[in-house]
Amino acid sequence: MTGTISVRYSFSIGLMLAMLMASWSGAATADGTKKPPYWASISASEARMRVGPSLDYPANWVYRRRDLPVKVVQVLGNWRKIEDSTGTQGWMHVRLLSDTATALVIGATADMHEAPNDQARVAYRVEAGVVGRVSNCAAGWCALDVTGQRGFVRATSLWGAVE
């Protein structure tokens, strides 16, 4: 009987350790291993920014825009202190964030070119406030995908993961 108890006890300890390690790896989403500041994006269709790092704190802002870029400026457990494009800061749970690189068009309407230079044909014009997925930023240009419409936009016209 003693052998059975110790096997069960060992199994329980192993199971608890496995669950603990799994929860740690889940907390790395919108990446707990990165050193702030770094870029993230909102992964939920509705995400509440709170005044402190807990559900006990009131929400001071509700975002209803998936893929909106945010800058993570501080990490505390599963909570991230974020800053949006207006400079507003607050806390958001890590499960509401993603590592997907996105950017917000700022300023005036931006030209989206077929190639990363001013002489390339303008494929689209993108209004301020439009959010897209960004990649391949180099020499002052970023590839931007706005719901399948792709092109290159000057990095100075974007706020988000353009560094």
Distance CA 154, CA 107 (A): 12
Whether residue 16 is predicted with pLDDT greater than 90 in this model: the reply is no
Whether residue 23 is predicted with pLDDT greater than 60 in this model: the reply is no
Contact 60, 50 (CB under 8 A): yes
Reading across the β-sheet that carries 131-138, which strands appear in turn?
122-126, 110-113, 149-154, 141-146, 131-138, 102-105, 158-160
- For all residues of the chain together, what is the average pLDDT? 85
Domain 103-160 has CATH 3.30.70.2860: no
- pLDDT, tens digit (0-9, with 9 covering 90-100), for 129-154: 999 999 999 999 999 999 999 999 99
Return the CATH number of 38-100, one of 2.40.30.10, 2.30.30.40, 3.40.50.1110, 2.20.25.190. Answer: 2.30.30.40
pTM of the model: 0.78
pLDDT at residue 163, rounded to an integer: 79
pLDDT at residue 32, rounded to an integer: 58
- pLDDT, tens digit (0-9, with 9 covering 90-100), for 105-129: 999 899 999 999 999 999 999 999 9
